[in-house]
Amino acid sequence: MSFIFGKRKTPAEIVRENKRMLDKSIREIERERQVLQSQEKKLILEIKKSAKQGQMGAVKVMAKDLVRTRHQIEKFYKLKSQLQGVSLRIQTLKSTQAMGEAMKGVTKAMGQMNRQMNLPSLQKILQEFEYQNDRMELITEVMGDTIDDAFEGDEEEEETEELVNQVLDEIGININQELLNAPSTAVAVPAAKTKVPQVETAGDDAALDSNLQARLDNLRKM
């Protein structure tokens, strides 16, 4: 009837309140059990002391008290275990309720999303996505083939050069050394050839002078 004079408690608040009460009871039981265990130790010491002094009547009385104390401690253990079981059930109930509230919210959100979702439009979007994806893959494949064809000649040229170098190495010819020696040989050959035309040119000039001199001599005789 608490809701008559105030705000009505929710199930979650009721569960929380009951669990708090159970936890408090468990703590009180644990405190009482510790007190009884302390009394048990004292009784054992008193029984040993009285037995040494030969007071057997007192020993029997304290022994009965010790038995009752141990039985009470055992009852406290059982009661604590039962209360802990109830507390665990309440905690499970609380977790189940929280899960139910969460599922309720998720279900509501899913319903709103499903109502807002246009299935034909979504199918059209997915089809367009599939088409564009296939087109992109095709373009990528064509570009890759084109690039491979463009660089195929260079790769063949490199492979050819490597093969030639390998063959020359096998027969003992170093092409790099031949290229280094090539300029000196090329220069030496033209130098030898240029000397020959110079000699021939001098001979021609001498013959021409002889012919001119002969003609002059003939003119003088006339």
User: For residue range 123-142, what is the model confidence (pLDDT) as tens digits?
Assistant: 888 899 998 988 888 888 88
The average pLDDT across 40-51 equals 89
Structure tokens that stand for 18 in this block: 């009951």
Q: Specify the pLDDT at position 154.
A: 59
85 and 154, same domain (yes or no) = no
| 130 within a domain of the structure (yes/no) | no
Phi, psi of 48 (to 5 degrees): -65, -40
Range of the domain at 154: 141-173
Q: Specify the pLDDT at position 117.
A: 78
Q: What residues have CB less than 8 Å from 155, skipping those under 6 apart? A: none
The average pLDDT across 91-114 equals 85
| 167 within a domain of the structure (yes/no) | yes
| 104 within a domain of the structure (yes/no) | yes
Residue 104 predicted with pLDDT over 70:
yes
88 and 165, same domain (yes or no) = no
Q: Specify the pLDDT at position 77.
A: 92
167 and 190, same domain (yes or no) = no
Q: What residues have CB less than 8 Å from 46, skipping those under 6 apart? A: 62
86 and 190, same domain (yes or no) = no
pLDDT band for position 192 (50/70/90)?
very low
pLDDT band for position 1 (50/70/90)?
very low
SS3 content of the chain, % helix, strand, coil (to 5): 95, 0, 5
| 95 closest CA partner among 148, 24, 155, 19 | 19
The average pLDDT across 13-26 equals 86
Residue 62 predicted with pLDDT over 70:
yes
The average pLDDT across 76-96 equals 88
Q: Specify the pLDDT at position 32.
A: 92
Structure tokens that stand for 98 in this block: 């929280």
44 and 86, same domain (yes or no) = yes
- Crossing angle of the two packed helices 56-116 and 11-53, in degrees rounded to 10: 160
71 and 114, same domain (yes or no) = yes
Q: Specify the pLDDT at position 180.
A: 54
20 and 82, same domain (yes or no) = yes
Q: Specify the pLDDT at position 218.
A: 62
188 and 163, same domain (yes or no) = no
More confident residue, 66 or 94: 66
Residue 167 predicted with pLDDT over 50:
yes
| 57 within a domain of the structure (yes/no) | yes
| 209 within a domain of the structure (yes/no) | yes
More confident residue, 189 or 85: 85
How many domains does the chain divide into?
Answer: 3
221 and 167, same domain (yes or no) = no
More confident residue, 192 or 94: 94
62 and 107, same domain (yes or no) = yes
| 73 within a domain of the structure (yes/no) | yes
